Amino acid sequence: MRAFRTYTDANVSTASAPRIMMTLFETALRHMRAGKAAYAMGDYRNGGDAAERAASIVLGLQATLKHAIAPSLCEQLDAVYSFVVARLTLAIGAMSAQYMEEAERVFLPIVEAFDQAVASEAAAAAAPATAAGGTGR
């Protein structure tokens, strides 16, 4: 377990900010899906644990919003994150796969959009090196 923790700490300390964010998005989504599956099978304890983990991550993402930099975008994301957390909370209270599904359905487009933005940014950053004749060798 100690080796795994060291590996994880090294990955986090060397990862780019977009990679860390993408990992958070993917992890929250994974917890939503696991919780939905657990609730659907009647496993309310694991469903609730997964919903709590997902909500914790989404609240963390919400706390990172920089309203001064992009007020309109942050306002929209804040509303989406609030909705997702509310649905996850309802899922816990009602022990409901339906609320987990609703949270996932609303959160997924945010994850996909962020993934596309990161990919576009990486492609744009690589383009000048390619255009300048850089092959990386």
Tens-binned pLDDT, residue by residue, of the chain (137 aa): 565 454 445 455 667 888 899 999 999 999 999 999 999 999 999 999 999 999 999 999 999 999 999 999 999 999 999 999 999 999 999 999 999 999 999 999 999 999 998 888 877 777 765 555 555 44
Domain holding 50, by residue range, is: 17-110
Q: Is residue 130 one of the residues assigned to a domain?
A: no
Cα 119 to Cα 113: distance, rounded to the nearest angstrom: 10
pLDDT at 10: 46
> Is residue 66 included in any domain, yes or no?
yes
Could you tell me if residue 121 is inside a domain? no
Q: Is residue 4 part of a domain?
A: no
Give the pLDDT of residue 120.
Answer: 84
28: domain CATH number is: 1.20.120.340
Domain membership of residue 23 (yes or no) is yes
- Establish if 133 belongs to a structural domain: no
Is this prediction's pTM over 0.85? no
Concatenating the DSSP letter of every residue in 42-102 gives: T-HHHHHHHHHHHHHHHHHHHHT--TTT-HHHHHHHHHHHHHHHHHHHHHHHHT-HHHHHH
Domain count, the chain: 1
Any domain includes 10: no
